[in-house]
Structure 1
Amino acid sequence: MRYPEGGGLTAERRAFREGIRLQAGERFAAGEKTTVIAKDLRVSVRSVERWRRAWREGGWDGLRSARPANSPTITDAQFAVLVEQLSKGPSAHGFDDQRWTLARVQTVIHRRLRVNLSMATVWRPLRRHG
């Protein structure tokens, strides 16, 4: 399940689900039917169909977990640019007063770095870097 404010699956749960997809991939290679695979792995037929398409298009890599579903973030280099922008003050970015809020920082990130982040994801690097 995906959540807009972070959340989602733990690394262990992602690895578990990847294992199920890889088991399905072995069965795709053996030529088994979608309904049989779905029943044996206790997943929906629709999921197996989606995995089969990913397997056909991308092979085994198409079945692997790429990363957490909702983890957009900024790199250290982007954070350095953000610090430089924030040091100019809110008025330099068109805000009426001299208060930094998460919403304003989010706006600066979007304008200058071209990255869309949720409020929670804006807070994490700020907290991490003090």
Structure 2
Amino acid sequence: MQAAELFEQEIKPPEVARRLRVSLKSAYQWHQLWRDGGHEALASRGPSGSRCRLSPRCLEKLAAYLDEGPAAHGWVEDQVWTAARVATLIGRKFHVSYSVSGATRLMHRLGFSPQVPARRVAERDERAVTVWKEVTWAEVKEPGRPAGATSASRTKQGSRGSRPGDEPGAGAGTPRS
């Protein structure tokens, strides 16, 4: 509605674009809409895109299913909800097809994040993890190379005599065989 107010004050679209920090194209489109239909033509029509194919009741059920965890729905190998699993779950429970990206957006809408465990595994042994980090990892980890020992490139620099000329760029115009 700010754009409509500015247009009423006879402010040109480039200045409206600058003030509202939008593209020039958007400002000109808004100006055309405003000339044709006034304030109402610039009113928001809500979010764009397709509407959710699950009812509010189904969304509540889906959130409850997600809270139960993947193992409760057949994925016993780990406790991670991936977007692909959620899309499959939606298909199984609600007979509605969702793409992986659509399932991701739906999960975010419900407050879930795909591929990130909500909590640690119940069987995790913190003492064993600490021992592994301090003992086993220290044995397995290779020592790093000294800072000045290598160059950034693994290629071997050619000798000056093998270059096609003595100055930089010499021979650049000659075809290579």
TM-score (norm 1): 0.42
Q: Which has the higher contact order (CA 8 A, sep 6+)?
A: 1
Higher relative helix content:
1
Q: TM-score, normalised to structure 2's length?
A: 0.34
* Structure having the higher Rg: 2
